[in-house]
Structures are given as structure tokens and as C-alpha cells.
Amino acid sequence: MRAHKDIAGFRAAVLAWFRREQRALAFRGTRDPYRVWLSEVMLQQTRVAAALPHYRRFLRRFPSVRALARAGEEDVLRAWAGLGYYRRARNLHRAAKEIVARHGGRFPRRREEALRLPGVGEYTSAAVLSIAYGQPLAALDGNAARVLARVTGMRGDARRPSNWRRLQKQADRLLSGNSRERGSRPKLDPGEWNQALMELGATLCLPRAPKCAECPVAEMCRARAAGAQEEIPGARRGRAREKVSIAAAVLLDAEGKVLLLRPETGHERELFSGMWQFPAVRVRRDARRELAARLAAMLNGASENGRPVIAEKFAALGSLRHAVTFRDITLLPFLLRVETLPPVPGARVWTAQDADAPAVSSATRKILEAALGRTARRDAALRGR
């Protein structure tokens, strides 16, 4: 798509469709840079429907960059709970502090400054600067890339760096117009255009079974003409998924309190997003035994014939599936009832009813729910006797 008339026709068709059919989303229509930035960060790796309630709640809790910058990390992570990929929340928080310290509390207008903020890359900077400030920057995300790959008939993995560069060039050309327009002002609102192209990818040009019959650019689409929509773009060459088993111990006392730790190893930090977690081990052979050894070490516990005594007291709670980026994780929670929780340096004691709940990852929440579900069933059984 190089000719001026092709580009103009493509843009007109997509924009007319977008103005007619776009979804009414909470973050649409705002040009507030903080809100635009927040929505863009939340929508990375999260579906729109799942992100929306979090977006509203986060904004109520932190209505401005300054409010976010003032907050403690624990508060920010708690407000992010349920969205996963907590690195995004930490970067958002760090970037908010930088924006207040260096940019007067406003998302910077200059791209090189935006790119220096934690967690802000090519895509996020282009999206925020185009939508909030009207800057002519093409924001290429997975949805827009899929549309462009199909329309231009570009085969192969769109995420391959050389292919992605080609798609970015195509996106830039679409936004700025070709040589005949050079020197003139862009004829469209860059923010609206970026959102229109991404919306087309998100709602019609779907990865599987695209809705070509409803597509405003069906007549210009090479993939459709070749009947190759399902083959373009080519399969992504991903990293092989790793299978991991993690055993975790819920120490529960008579008052319903549990013991949480800060992750110690890099692996734990990754799995539990650097947040409070139950004592856990990566299982090599024997989950019960290895977890007991971990607890014995933590508590300076005794062992009998080399076997930690507390291993016998663990109640296995089955297994839970948990997927994180390139890992398929099997969580093996164990319940260990104790009269009183042992004193462990740096640990945190928490009850599920505690209003001041610590920020925990979804893996930790799953483990806790398994333990409390077991406790509730046992209590109900006792009541029924």
C-alpha cells in the first residue's frame, strides 16, 4: 500500500468504521496523559473486559500522577491485585515518581524523555503521546500489526524484528501519508487513528476466524484475496514453555492466622511477583519432604533419621494449575496446623479477615483459597457431627 490514493482510501474506510462502531470504553475520549498512560499499561497482557474494573478502581484510589507517586509500593501492588504481571505496577509507580520529580507532574511531551521512564517503550510512548498530545507517532501493537500484516500480505512471524520494523514503517507511512503529502500537516488525528487501527484488530481482524465480511478494508486486503487470513501473520516462534512444580506450606494457627514471607531467591521473586508468599520450594522429587526440609531450615527444626519431623503433619491440598508467561506451574499447597505461629525473622502474620491485607500474587491467593476452603469444609463437617 504505497499509492497516495490507497493510503487515503484505507484511512478513510477505517476511520469511518471506527467512528460508527467503536466500543464505548471507560478510557476512550480522554486526553488526560495519566489516564491514557494507565490504560495503555493495564491493557498490556490483559484483555479490555478484564482491565476495565481495575482501571476504574485504580483511578479512584490514585486519581493523579501525584497521588500515585505519593503512595507506598504495597498500596500500589494491592490496587493492582488481580491484573498480574506486577512488574507493570512497579514500573508505573517508579515512573510516576520520576514524572513528579523531573517533569512537574505531567507525562513528558518529548519522546526521548518518555522513553527514559521505567516501563515505557516504543509502543507505550507512541500511544500516550499521540492520544494525549496529538503527536504524529504510529503506535504498533499486536492488533494493529496483525491488520497490517494481513492487508499487505506479509507472511512470517510478525514479531520477528525485521518483520516488525517493516510493519512499523508501514504504520508510519499510513499515519503520515506518502511523499505527495510530505510537508503538509497530517490530515488525521494521530491518537484517533492509532486507536482505530488497534480497534479493527481487536474486534474484527481477530487472530482466529477474522470477521472479514464486516471489515471496512476487506476489498484492499491481500490476505483475504488469497484466502490466507488464518496463515497471516505466521505462527509466533515462542520460547519453549517450562513446567515447574512448587510446593507451598500454609501454616495456620488456632486463630486463623497464617505466616507469610518475602521471596528469597530470584526464582521465588519471579513466581510470586516479589510479594509476600507462603514458605515454598521448587519440587525436584518429593514435595512433602523437600517442603518440610525448607520449613525445618527456616525454623531451625529438628529431624529424625534425616527426615524433618513436621513432614508427617502436613495435609496435602491437591494440586492447582497456574500459568505465568512461559511457565506452566503446578502448585502443591500443604496445610500445617499449629497451635501458635513460630517466630520467624522478617515474616508477616496475617488473617484473611485482616483489613490491612498485604499485596500478594495470584499464585499466593490460590494457595490461600485452597487452605481456607479445606478449613471451611472441615469446620462444617465438625459442626455437622
Annotated active-site positions, please? 40
DSSP code string of 137-150:
-----HHHHHHHHH
CB of 317 to ligand SF4, least distance (A): 46
Amino acid identity of residue 353, one-letter, is: Q
Pairwise CA distance, residues 91 & 44, whole Å = 13
Which residue's CB is nearer to ligand SF4, number 121 or number 207? 207
Contacts by residues 374-383 (CB-CB < 8 Å, ≥ 24 positions apart): 374/315, 374/317, 374/335, 375/252, 375/256, 375/335
Strands 307-308, 315-316: pairing kind: unpaired
CB of 219 to ligand SF4, least distance (A): 8
Which residue's CB is nearer to ligand SF4, number 102 or number 211? 211
Strands 242-252, 327-337: pairing kind: parallel
Contact 281, 291 (CB under 8 A): yes
Q: Identify the CA nearest to 197 among candidates 135, 151, 229.
A: 151
Which residue's CB is nearer to ligand SF4, number 229 or number 273? 229
Contact 28, 3 (CB under 8 A): no
Q: At what angle do helices 87-102 and 33-43 cross, to 10 degrees?
A: 160
* Dihedrals phi, psi of 277, to nearest 5 degrees: -145, 165
- Grid coordinates of 328: 506452566
CB of 221 to ligand SF4, least distance (A): 3
CB of 47 to ligand SF4, least distance (A): 19
Residues that bind ligand SF4 (CB under 6 A): 147, 150-151, 204-205, 210-212, 215, 217-218, 221, 223-224, 229
Which residue's CB is nearer to ligand SF4, number 77 or number 175? 175
Which residue's CB is nearer to ligand SF4, number 199 or number 268? 199
CB of 225 to ligand SF4, least distance (A): 9
Which residue's CB is nearer to ligand SF4, number 1 or number 52? 1
Pairwise CA distance, residues 121 & 114, whole Å = 8
CB of 179 to ligand SF4, least distance (A): 25
